[in-house]
Structure 1
Amino acid sequence: MQIDNLLSEGRSDYAAVDARQRNLHERVAAGETADTLMLIEFDPVYTAGSRTKPEDIPDANVPVVPIDRGGSVTYHGPGQLVVYPIIKVHGRQDVVAYVRALEQAVIDLLAEYGIAAGRVEGRTGVWIVRPGQFDRKICAIGVRFSSRTTMHGLALNVTTDLGDFDRIVPCGIRDAGVVSMRDLGVEQTLEEVAARLVPHLEQQLARFRVPVEETA
């Protein structure tokens, strides 16, 4: 799987990356290029998926970009590692299984840093669950399958300023919070975290990918 590392270019404009993602998606779907992981840090932006409700954006002055992924409204910005796996899916297109694979890759990554993370029943993403505390989401996930090829992906809070989530109801969930790796005592750059996440993604996504001999 090839890597399109936009982190080396600094923070990226959302519209420019979205256009780049869609061009890459078309090429992967057509078999013109290899499966790719896009690694990104965005300029501040709020995006709204297909399940966004008006009440999820209580501040009418928040500029929101509608986008064709699942999930509700979320925030992307400095200190957050965003990964878009663009892969051609082999066999059954099981979106739930694919989301679980992304979650597991992040759970395994966080375990390397001594962070115990997991899933919450009925809620997508990766969570920090502690007795007597609100559940806190550390990684949001929103994906789309089109032409048997995946789009969008995950957003992991590494050193994110969590105050930027306060203008929305993140992912439409009112009885939970958000957290970053920094808040949990891990101080790492996005490049360092990405380098350790990529192998976990490659391992978890291998079963979804079209075998090389079928793309030759």
Structure 2
Amino acid sequence: MTDMISRASKGHDLPASIEWRRSDGQILYRAAMEEQESRNAAIAAEEAGELVWMLEHPPVYTAGTSADVAELVDPRFDVVQTGRGGRYTYHGPGQRVTYVLLDLSRRQKDLRNFVHALENWVIATLADFGVTAFAISDRIGIWTHDVTGAEAKIGAIGVRVRRWVTMHGFAVNLSPDLSHFGGIVPCGIADYGVTSLEALGIAVSADEWDRALLARAEQFLAALERPGRTTI
């Protein structure tokens, strides 16, 4: 089921110019990628509004533009080539994915700022559940400390920009089967593990995560505005 989120019913002051969508169940990765490709082109042509889409996928490995086949250790699931940056990533049940399709030509035309804003959005939302997370300049993704105290990845980020319209976004591990990450070297980083909110002893449903993320959306969008611009 797909829900076009009502700003009034959800209690968030979300811009009407952006479609805020959440899907229950599992959406096939290839189908979601096709929809992103189509929507990206329509946004660039000013034929459709921007989109933020929250969903989950069946188990799948995705390859970014820097993927090294040597890091595909055990391709037990479908492997999909994507146009996003980065290397191999796993998506599956219990991992909440957010696709962000925004027109940066209406905001700061700054990809680095966009990625930092995504990182900060995830980090702030995780903090609302009591998780201290952080970004590391030479490592892709969102990091925290696992139950042993070691640094571990809790979220992945991968984006693509075409005609200044963004695609892809980020994924956060709520309660996935962490053994599924063993089929790849996640994002090419072999020296650190992967964790989840569940592994940290924190139970968070997809609905709870989505609502918390939406509560932080205004801050995320404000970080993308051109300096000195007044938002309404």
Please give the TM-score of this superposition, normalised by the length of structure 2.
0.83
* 1:80-111 residue CA offsets vs partner (Å, 9 max, x unmatched): 10000110013543222111111101110111
Gaps of 5+ in 2: 1-17, 227-232
Do residues 54 (structure 1) and 108 (structure 2) align?
Answer: no
Q: Is the 8 A contact 1:27 1:33 kept in 2?
A: yes
Counterpart AA for 1:109: T
Greater per-residue helix proportion:
1
Residue from 203, 209, 215 that aligns with 1:199: 215
The aligned residue for residue 213 of structure 1 is: none
The answer on 1:181 being equivalent to 2:215 is no
| Aligned-pair CA distance for 1:15 | 1.2
Q: Displacement of 1:133 after TM fit?
A: 4.4
Percent identity between the two aligned chains: 37
Any residues of structure 2 matched to 1:57-206 within 5 Å, and which? 57-59=72-74, 63-89=78-104, 90-129=106-145, 133-206=149-222
8 Å Cα contact 1:11/1:42 also seen in 2: yes
Consecutive unaligned residues in structure 1, runs of 5 or more: 211-216
1:121 is displaced (CA, Å) by: 2.9
CA distance in 2, matches of 1:77, 1:122: 26
Distance 1:79 1:202 in 2: 25
Alpha-carbon displacement from aligned partner over 1:126-161 (angstroms, at most 9, x marks no partner): 101479744211010000110110000000000111
- Mean CA deviation greater in 64-73 or 21-30: 21-30
Following the alignment from structure 1 to structure 2, what is the Cα–Cα distance between the partners of residues 109 and 154? 13
Distance between the aligned counterparts of 1:178 and 1:197, measured in 2? 21
SS in 2 for 1:184: coil
Separation in 2, partners of 1:11, 1:130:
27
**How many equivalent residue pairs?**
208
Indicate conservation of the 8 Å contact 1:102/1:201, yes or no. no
* Residue deviations 1:170-190 (CA, integer Å, cap 9, x gap): 111010111111111211111
Secondary structure of 1:154 counterpart:
strand
CA RMSD of aligned residues (A): 2.0
Distance 1:61 1:192, change over 3 A: closer
